[in-house]
A and B are shown apart, each in its own frame.
Chain A
Amino acid sequence: MGVAIVVTSGKGGVGKTTTTANIGTALAMLGNKVVVVDADTGLRNLDLHLGLENRIVYNLVDVVEGVCRLKQALIKDKRYDNLFLLPTAQTKDKTAVTPEQMQKLIDDLKKEFDYIIIDCPAGIEHGFENAVAGADRAIVVTTPEVSAVRDADRIIGKLEAKGLEDHQLIINRIKYEMTKKGEMLNIDDMTDILAIKLLGIIPEDEKIVISTNRGEPAVTDENSKAGKAYRNVARRIMGEEVPFLELDEEPTGLFASIKKIFFKK
């Protein structure tokens, strides 16, 4: 039996879909059989992050409505044979699926896959209810901004009310330069406020924009800092103890600057 993990945040635009695509891909790279599920019916995007948008025939709503079998709606990834996408419908809305139907679907997927990663829509309404329905664990994504942290706290409360006690935090888009100056909430500030176990720290990385442009998750790029952080997250999900990346990874100072000029990739 596999494990179903929902990726949620409350606030939009903090990196839920990026996180889902990267964790899913990284888990597949580590040899697991993985399916990433887009639960954002009407506003699907996970297909774009994986570069699979042109291969969609059937979707999650079709499966629920009995239009097709579950296997027909699963799309195999371009790069990894053990990674699949279950897209959702773009022309329906969130009420097309009920939490009970979602629960059954996830239970079916758990028989086939090691990990089911569910991309939750923003908000706390119907879409959220659906996305968490079949989940065993939750990953809460936030950024070092007051609005994202507030919404994360609200989501943690909602998850606990549903009995989903196994939840962990990913802090996305941290800028070390700013935290050093005291102009951005740091890791300790956020874990202190939210009182939740930390699963990952993802540095701000321009390579994320590039990889999303190309439809190739950052974890496939050896040189991406965010990609490396996501690969570590995947190993932690599998139960491995992986130390968090050093805060000052980027060396500063005159020597480092000169080095950077000459050794630029």
Chain B
Amino acid sequence: MGEVRRLVIAARLEEVRDACDFVVEAAEAAQLDERAVYHCQMAVDEALTNVIEHGYAYQGDGSQIEVTCHTDLNRFVITITDNGPAFNPLEHESPNPAQELEEREPGGWGIYFIRKLTDDVAYQRVGDKNRLILYKNLPTAIQIGGPDEGGEDLFPTRMVNGDVIIYPAGRLDSNTSPMLEQTLKSQLEQGHYWMFVDMAAVEYIASSGLKVLVAIWRRAQERGGNVFLSGLQPRIVEIFEMVGFDMLFEIFPDLDAARAARSQQD
């Protein structure tokens, strides 16, 4: 995880511009291209305007909103935290741009834009705070897998009852971890949040491989899914134990055991 930048603004519309400038600077530092930087700026503008207009209505001054930016593996992440009443904007239906103007509801466009302009959005209620997290993919995320056409270098996968099984093989080091990442990410993007990674054919795992597994595990969890690992060779187990990942992941002796555990959870 990269450096975290943090800004606190008063919950007033006049302050939104400062937050936009702050996000632009952070997005540029994260090497997003000009278009993506612009998208981030707009998404943050919409999100903050929403919070100020809805969350803090009639509350007057004194309320603050925190905006942080950091990069997480291959995404630029913007987190907006406010202590207004619980409000999950993602629960509200988005307007339909194909609809006639006369039939349109006046509101809802902010969140529609946020969804369109970012690669992912999540909402959490943390204690007495609302947290909206905006994700924008970093440009390298698309290029991962080498100079040849992306999408070809993936580990084999298989779908079983809506769950996906992934079969990485060989060494998971800084050369091959991007391939693992690409494989897992494409599954997440297809809405497959339950993943079984069968590690039986993995001979070695470096920190880059561990990093990928954790990042994907976290994203799957955010979506109500999980990543189950199975068939780890003894020396891989050793590495997992060394870094404490054996506490983090559900690890099973083999794929069948992992599948059985999943079906018991349903």
A complexed with B? no
